[in-house]
Amino acid sequence: MPAALPQILALGEAMIEFNQSQPGRPEFLQGFGGDTSNFCIAAARQGASTGFVSAIGDDPFGRLLVDMWAAEHVDTTYVRIDRTAPTGVYFVTHGAAGHQFDYLRAGSAASRYTVADLPLDALAAAKAVHLSGISLAISSAACDAAFAAIDHARSNGAQVSFDTNLRLKLWPLPRARAVMREALRQTDICLPSWDDVTALTGANDRDAIVDAMLEHGPQVVALKLGKEGAYVATPNERRVVPGFAVEAVDATGAGDCFGGAFVARIVAGDDPFAAARYANAAAALSTTGYGAVAPIPHRDAVERLIQG
């Protein structure tokens, strides 16, 4: 009997991470990153059936990613190997102002992903398909593929989740606003962070921000507020879902962890407010270690934190 197709698919770019071990030290820990890959792993660690849709280089970094996904039980059937382009890498440094990212991703395999590469059967079978602003920004070809994936998934009954994840090094703000506005019209679950949406909307009020998001079409908005938690809104209800107090050392990937845990719980049947409480706990735990992937908690640890 053929294996079941994943319930949750994520589309975007995975990268190799080099994360500074301590502020000011010339030592870097090798890890994994890429917002939608982080999302996929977070969902998988909560028990969801997941698959990643992308391209990687035929290089040692790409092979590290494949091995990592296999260990995380993320389906790699939909990851294309590009023998003429590299896998992207990035560096994280830490200082008084927080963490800083520097990317080496120009011309990466993922940026060369096209509509023709999409796994249409898997997209049609998924319950949720996730992408981000970065999925749209890395190239025009990848952007076209992302919108085609959205169209195909929604036409077959999947929910689309979208994390704004604004990166102005990848594209200018006017284009980001225009493209994300179109993406939001086809989004069911919007997962913005505060800094992103204040830049995208020009608003600094929570209600004005979620109103702007809901007006475009999403039925659920979970505005990520860091350690404070999340402001969750539907057309009929909105409230802050408080965060959890932990000893945080590195917030890299915490928003991605929130998104993966949130959508995993939505697919499992939770309402948005229960899903946000669970996702807040997962995201909090993800800040207690270094790197985007290694500290992502499994379901049992999340449930222990929730239960106190």
The CA-based diameter of the chain, rounded to the nearest angstrom, is 55
Q: What sign has the CA pseudo-torsion 253, 111, 187, 197? A: positive
CA separation for the pair 255, 49 (Å, rounded): 20
Candidate list 211, 256, 270, 271, residue with the active-site label: 256
What burial letters (b/e) apply to 117-149, b meaning 16+ CB within 10 Å?
bbbeebbebbbbbbbbbbbbbbbeebbebbbbb
DSSP structure class, residue 197: H
Is 256 annotated as catalytic?
Answer: yes
CA separation for the pair 253, 231 (Å, rounded): 19
CA separation for the pair 43, 258 (Å, rounded): 9
> Per residue, what are the HEC states of 7-72?
CEEEECCCEEEEEECCCCCCCEEEEEECHHHHHHHHHHHCCCCEEEEEEEECCHHHHHHHHHHHHC
The catalytic site residues sit at 256
